[in-house]
Amino acid sequence: MLKYLTLILAVIAVLGKADEFKFDPYIDIPFKTVKTSAERIESHGYPAETHSVETPDGYVLNLFRIPYSSKLNNGDSHRPVVFIMHGLFSCSDCFLLNGPDNALAYNYADAGFDVWLGNARGNLYSRNNTKINIKHPYFWRFSWHEIGAIDLPTMIDYILNITDEKSLHYVGHSQGCTSFFVMGSYRPEYNEKIKTAHLLAPPVFMGNTTEELIVGTASVFGTPGLGSSLLQNQVLLPQNQFIQRLLDTTCSKQPIMLSYCKTLGILWNGPDIGNLNQTLLPQIAETHPAGVSSNQAIHYIQSYVSNDFRLYDWGTKKNLEYYNAEVPPSYDLTKITSEVYLYYGLSDGSANKMDISRLPELLPNLALLHEVPDPTWGHLDFLFAVQVKQVINDLVVDYSMAYEADRNKK
């Protein structure tokens, strides 16, 4: 185990510092320029805007907007707002890669919505802070608690101010769900700013997760100690030239290399990747992983060990300082009064059915608990499945439209 831990830390250190030391293992391979979310949106024939907003603690977050659909020519009409948030190791690109016919962002735009795509602190679009240098460990001293308690409220307030709206629809995938639960319970005043919240593959309670990377590292990183202290407060799998070239080579269109890329997909999505649009694997590799703080991953592992949904565990001494308690307090999910829609898959190791079954009795305004009928539906299928539009997106958009129609009747 110690040898395994040492290897993990060594790889993390090399990957995290690759850009800093100008490490270039493929010096004769030209560095490929990757489209930004805005450029990707425009290449698909939609108008795009780029916005930035600073959090109270100095992080500069970038958002991308599809203000209207060129198919509808509805730029001058009133359009309800939807805010879409990515998961761990991801970014706004994940809601665009499936193309204008099947990606959720475009489906919402074509249904007449004003679409906003967020980016959490630390990913490739939000790697700036006006007070702390990115190379300082304190830049990376955050988990998904800060994303829910600070980033989401900051972006929501910005969006509502720009659009002159009082509330919006929210969609989150994976960590985008976790951070929403943090916001709704820790910052309950924001519940009134949410019309509907559609949470895809929501990892909240995680005691029954079958995710091997979490279960396999729990003894090292699941409780405060040497392992977590060595790993915390640093970038984990950043988007840099070394990683991008490594994945780009691995996920090339060469059959033997593409098989390795599929193996990576299995590690992330689970054993069933038959639903994934595998032609997207090279594009996914271009934009992922987008970079996170190691604390985000540690916080999930802590959730598995504690079988609870609670704040970050810093150890007894710091817990007493931060929380006035030896053990981190649990989030009070009964404070989440937003209209919540939950969607989960039976082949999702991260958002397990047994763990999700604990949520309905805690959520006072649960509108839907939807189990995808396909027993092979996994974590990434909510983004990249061939049939994602018919299985998930149409349902999510229809519920949002029904809310608007019902509201307009009143």
The tens digit of pLDDT for each residue in 169-195 reads 999 999 999 999 999 999 999 999 999
Q: State the average pLDDT over residues 87-93.
A: 95
106-117: burial string, b at 16+ Cβ within 10 Å, e else: bbbbbbbbbbbb
The pLDDT assigned to 353 comes to 97
Can you list the domains of the chain with their CATH numbers?
45-236+292-409 (3.40.50.1820)
The predicted pLDDT at position 280 comes to 85
pLDDT band, very low/low/confident/very high, at 32 (cuts 50, 70, 90): low
Q: Whole-number mean pLDDT of the chain? A: 87
Q: Which of 289, 291, 294, 290 is nearest to 231 (CA)?
A: 294
- Does residue 129 have a pLDDT over 50? yes
Q: Is residue 102's pLDDT more than 50?
A: yes
- How many Å apart are CA 363 and CA 357, to the nearest integer? 11
Given this model, what pLDDT does residue 77 score?
82
- pLDDT tens per residue, range 46-78: 999 999 999 999 999 999 999 999 898 776 788
d(CA 378, CA 348): 4
pLDDT at 263: 47
Each residue's pLDDT tens digit, 3-15: 333 344 444 444 4
Q: Is the pLDDT of residue 253 over 60?
A: no
Greater pLDDT, 22 or 376:
376
pLDDT, residue 290, reads 86
| pLDDT bracket for residue 377 (50, 70, 90) | very high
Phi, psi of 222 (to 5 degrees): -80, -20
Indicate which residues carry an active-site annotation. 174, 348, 379
Asked whether the beta carbons of 199 and 178 are under 8 A apart, the reply is no
Percentage of residues in the chain having pLDDT higher than 90: 72
Question: Do 65 and 91 form a contact (C-beta atoms < 8 A)?
Answer: no
pLDDT-derived band at 277, boundaries 50, 70, 90? confident
The pLDDT-based confidence of 256 (bands split at 50, 70, 90) is very low
pTM of the model: 0.88
pLDDT of residue 139: 97
Helix (H, G, I), strand (E, B) or coil at 23: coil
Amino acid in the structure at residue 329: P
Q: Is the pLDDT of residue 21 over 50?
A: no
Which of the four pLDDT bands, split at 50, 70 and 90, describes residue 215? Answer: very high
d(Cα 164, Cα 48) in Å, to the nearest integer? Answer: 19
Distance CA 5, CA 12 (A): 11
Contact between residue 83 and residue 116 where contact means Cβ atoms under 8 Å apart: yes
Tell me, what amino acid is at 44? Answer: H
Lowest model confidence (mean pLDDT) among 20-29, 324-333, 359-368: 20-29
Question: For 285-294, how does the pLDDT look when each residue is reduced to its tens digit (9 = 90+)?
Answer: 788 888 899 9
pLDDT at residue 117 tops 60: yes
93 Cβ contact partners less than 8 Å away, ≥ 6 residues apart: 37, 40, 287, 288, 290
The predicted pLDDT at position 5 comes to 39
Can you tell me whether residue 315 is helix, strand or coil?
coil
**pLDDT-derived band at 240, boundaries 50, 70, 90:** low
